[in-house]
Structure 1
Amino acid sequence: MGLLSLKYRRPGHVDKGKFLSSRRGDASSDVSLESGQTGSSSGIPDVLAFDKIMDGGTCPPCTIRDFINYLMYIEHSAENLQFFLWYRDYVKRFNEASTSDTNLSPEWTQAMEDETAAKIQKDAVERIRKEPEAVAIFRGTDFEKGEADIVLESRDPFSTPPSTPSVKDTPSLWSRSRATSYRSQCQDAFRAAGASQPFTIQPFRAEVNRVIATYITDDAPRQLNLSSKEQKCVVQALAYTTHPSAFRTIMGSVEDTLRRQAHPNFIRWTICNGNPARVTFARSLGAGTILCATIGAILLTLSSAGRGWRALLAIPWTLGIATLVSAYKGMCVVLHGLHHRHVRPWELFDYSAEEGVVSPSSSSSSGSELEERGNHQRGRGSKEGNNNSFESFGSSNNSYEDEPWVVKYERRGLVRKVFDREVWIQEPALRQIQDVIFVQSVLAGLLGGGVLTAVFVAVPVGGFF
């Protein structure tokens, strides 16, 4: 990694709702995916790029496990990465399957996809013509859309799917009943999309049924943010084949969201080395130091003391401004001096620090292997948060709210949060970014402290006392 410039700026926050709204008409997103870059990734060095993290080329706290924990607990959209990891592994397993099996699932071509999308659009327009009052309701308002979009996006694509109860492993009888339930849900989805029932002898058909029931159907436990049109297109594609190309449309949407919205936000969040309580404390300390130094300068100016005494206040001004600027960017200068960061709340409770955790590789572990590792961690405990985070299938990601650490951390005293346990930052690139931000804060402190000192020293002696 090359040296970062002092002009470096950390990635800007990408609002999820605005991004998903603008992405639908953003043609530049295709360029981002084809180039393998993050898209609007200003402030992210190459060594922390999305592909680097996915390939396991980064150290804590910038690993794929840290990424999925961030999406799980902070951004509440872990389903995108869970589906992405499953799909990458599914492509690998499908290509390794025997030729005789894969011949039963032909490729879903771009021409077939375009034809299906056009047919869905046409059906939506016809439905609108039969029910013109649906358009009249929104005409002249901020919610007015194209005729077809009113039907195709009737449900909110940004809504959070409802939470479902956590499900634990049970004997094979339960597994068979769940498989039947998946088939039933998929049959309903196929009928709703106007697709014929698929051939059950196609390879991976049972797994694809689980994917549809977990990620694609309405009210799925890990429902992806898909428009109605995208949902119908992928369901019709999956009714025809289990070939990975059937997921082309939604994979482009999911990967684009991960690269251009979730990943920049993750890097921005990871740069912060303190928890919110510590950062707030640092901001208060910096502001208080500046305020005290300013009051002292005013008193010295009004007194009979020589001007030279006022110059001493440059020190607290510099320290206060540097601390405030650093805290504004989410960093505590004390933690940075040690290259430490606070332990995340989900890492603090109920997990043994002596037990190591094996981070599954997205490129080498199958969906079943990921699930088995998650089950293994559930049995012995994991110090890295939700045991279901790496499982391809399971209950809603919101089920983490029932974990003991949530209540325990809320009850934790403010002072204890400020001085929570610290760990070493292992990722060199992240340490370098924090070094640059620290230098920028010190330079801002020197500049601000110098200006304030010059102003107060230039004022004549007051001599009031």
Structure 2
Amino acid sequence: MGFLSLGYRRPPHVDKDAFRQSMTSDSFSEKEDASLRSGRSGASAGVPDALTFDKIINGGTCPPMSVRDFMNYLIYIEHSAENLQFFLWHRDYVKRFREAKTSDMGLAPEWTQAMEDDTIAKIQKEGADKLKREPKGAEIFKGTDFEKGALENPIENRDPFSTPPRTPGSNDDASTVNFSQATTYRSQAQDAFSTAGAKQPFTIQPFRDEIDRVVATYLAADAPRQLNLSDREHKVTLQALAYTTHPTAFRLIAKSIENTLRKQAHPNFVRWSICNGNPARVFFARGLGVGTILLATVGAIILTLSRAGRGYRALFAIGWVIGIATLIAAYKGMCVVLHGLHHRHIRPWELFAEDDGESEDKRSFDTFGSGNSYEEEPWVVKYKKRNVVRKVFDREVWIQEPALRQIQDTIFVQSMLSALLLSGVLTAVFVAVPGGHFF
């Protein structure tokens, strides 16, 4: 593998919350929508062709860029693994539905785009009518002792009996107990349909039991892997699923989730994977780079003030090159020592992997598993107790993915060229300055 262009830049970080707020179901261009339907998407800036979303999902990459690594990233770093879990299930479901030849398939008609548009319009109208019927806040408190306080502090005067918002997909003890105490997935799905104002579905439709489990796992209130959806996406999808089990019922949220994975999670995953050291090692590398630069500069100043020949000052260019290259690489999350070996630090969740580590991986790929919370996993406490020195010199492993090594090679070359340029300028300045002859 050669180098990428010397003008290569890492994928820019895409903020999850900002991306979600800016994304709407109508934000796709025709080209982007066709790209998603075809199962392909344009390459994100900074992502080489060998590391595209489709290649990772289809198993065409090696560790640490495999789909398993992508899942771990979403669980432990971005905390949105439910998106990939749902995406993988939906892709498989579409395939199985199309291949099914049972006689009851006619009971699951297609959810057309026109039906979806009509449902969206109905939901929007109901929302507008509800706003008109509800009295304004000023009218509610008018003439009461709370009038002034309620208007001045609307956030602080919320209904004290309302349920505080929960993080989607959280799996605290209370939600786990409530979820496990539910009688069946069907009853949870029925509750979700009722809440969305949808009619109860026909239970004889094909795949209805599986759809009920999906609703209970990803769409119901307090679901263990609740998807982060807008109110419109949530209601429209439940209305569609109450009508049919056809894959088109997931059209709205499937497109939204796939867009999030492709254009937000995937570029961030590639950017994060470029870092070959843990935070402690990268911080240590930055400190080492700064220290080397300072020592070389102090040495050059001392020689400049002495009677030593000017040529000796040029020797400190070696220190500047090493220090600046180390600092630039560390700024991009890389340790040049680890890069020289094409190694990376083992991730904390890999470092303390138990004998049943494979079963944990299987659980994360299980469509109907529990929530994605990891706070109770043994490695969390163990890693916190690990001292800084051990973290700096944690265990290393070979980077198997050639494309990732290519990116790191390119960043290293960029760092070295920048270091040579800056060191050349510093050397020229110190050599040109007349000697002080003080000692």
Instruction: State the TM-score, normalizing by the size of structure 2.
Output: 0.89
Which residue does the alignment assign to 1:20? 20
1:66 and 2:69 equivalent? yes
Q: Secondary structure at 1:103's aligned position in 2?
A: helix
Deviations 1:133-169 (A, max 9, x none): 16999xx99x9xxxxxxxxxxx99994443234999x
The offset of 1:182, in angstroms, is 1.8
Q: In 2, distance between residues paired with 1:383 and 1:449?
A: 49
1:270 and 2:273 equivalent? yes
Query: Residues 42 and 220 (structure 1 numbering): CA distance in 2 closer, same or farther, change over 3 Å?
Result: same
Q: Please provide the CA RMSD for this pair.
A: 2.8
Q: In 2, distance between residues paired with 1:29 and 1:224?
A: 24
Identity %: 67
> Which of 363, 366, 370 is the matching residue for 1:388?
363
1:73-88 counterparts in 2 under 5 A? 73-88=76-91
Q: In 1, distance between residues paired with 2:60 and 2:175?
A: 33
Does structure 2 retain, via aligned residues, the 8 Å contact 1:189–1:235?
Answer: yes
Which residue does the alignment assign to 1:436? 410
1:251-266 counterparts in 2 under 5 A? 251-266=254-269
Q: In 1, distance between residues paired with 2:302 and 2:61?
A: 52
Q: In 2, distance between residues paired with 1:462 and 1:67?
A: 59
Deviations 1:202-231 (A, max 9, x none): 111111111111111222111111011110
Which residue does the alignment assign to 1:232? 235
Deviations 1:280-337 (A, max 9, x none): 1111101110011111111111222221111000000000000000111111111111
Does structure 1 retain, via aligned residues, the 8 Å contact 2:3–2:409?
Answer: no
The offset of 1:462, in angstroms, is 1.1
Does structure 1 retain, via aligned residues, the 8 Å contact 2:205–2:245?
Answer: yes
The offset of 1:98, in angstroms, is 2.0
Q: In 1, distance between residues paired with 2:2 and 2:312?
A: 43
Q: Secondary structure at 1:397's aligned position in 2?
A: coil
1:446 and 2:420 equivalent? yes
Query: Residues 158 and 48 (structure 1 numbering): CA distance in 2 closer, same or farther, change over 3 Å?
Result: farther
Query: Residues 3 and 296 (structure 1 numbering): CA distance in 2 closer, same or farther, change over 3 Å?
Result: closer
1:57-456 counterparts in 2 under 5 A? 57-133=60-136, 159-165=167-173, 180-352=183-355, 381-382=356-357, 387-398=362-373, 400-456=374-430
Query: Residues 161 and 99 (structure 1 numbering): CA distance in 2 closer, same or farther, change over 3 Å?
Result: closer
Query: Residues 192 and 26 (structure 1 numbering): CA distance in 2 closer, same or farther, change over 3 Å?
Result: closer
Q: In 2, distance between residues paired with 1:198 and 1:218?
A: 18
Q: In 1, distance between residues paired with 2:186 and 2:2?
A: 53
Letter of the aligned partner of 2:273 in structure 1?
Answer: T
Q: In 1, distance between residues paired with 2:435 and 2:87?
A: 68
Q: Secondary structure at 2:262's aligned position in 1?
A: helix
Query: Residues 266 and 350 (structure 1 numbering): CA distance in 2 closer, same or farther, change over 3 Å?
Result: closer
Q: In 2, distance between residues paired with 1:208 and 1:464?
A: 85
Q: In 2, distance between residues paired with 1:331 and 1:179?
A: 48
**Alignment length (residue pairs):** 416
Which residue does the alignment assign to 2:431? 457
Query: Residues 254 and 21 (structure 1 numbering): CA distance in 2 closer, same or farther, change over 3 Å?
Result: same
Letter of the aligned partner of 2:171 in structure 1?
Answer: S
The offset of 1:93, in angstroms, is 1.3
Letter of the aligned partner of 2:194 in structure 1?
Answer: R
Q: Secondary structure at 1:423's aligned position in 2?
A: strand
Does structure 1 retain, via aligned residues, the 8 Å contact 2:82–2:226?
Answer: yes
The offset of 1:26, in angstroms, is 6.4
The offset of 1:179, in angstroms, is 7.9
Query: Residues 136 and 341 (structure 1 numbering): CA distance in 2 closer, same or farther, change over 3 Å?
Result: farther
Q: In 2, distance between residues paired with 1:11 and 1:386?
A: 27
State which drifts further: 270-279 or 184-193: 184-193
State which drifts further: 264-273 or 184-193: 184-193
Deviations 1:156-211 (A, max 9, x none): 9994443234999xxxxxx9x87843222222211121111000111111111111
Letter of the aligned partner of 1:82 in structure 2?
Answer: Q
Query: Residues 160 and 190 (structure 1 numbering): CA distance in 2 closer, same or farther, change over 3 Å?
Result: closer
Unaligned runs of 5+ in 2: 141-150, 155-162
Does structure 1 retain, via aligned residues, the 8 Å contact 2:169–2:372?
Answer: no
Q: In 1, distance between residues paired with 2:335 and 2:41?
A: 28
Does structure 2 retain, via aligned residues, the 8 Å contact 1:303–1:464?
Answer: yes
Letter of the aligned partner of 2:428 in structure 1?
Answer: A
Instruction: State the TM-score, normalizing by the size of structure 1.
Output: 0.84
Does structure 1 retain, via aligned residues, the 8 Å contact 2:12–2:268?
Answer: yes
Does structure 1 retain, via aligned residues, the 8 Å contact 2:94–2:247?
Answer: yes
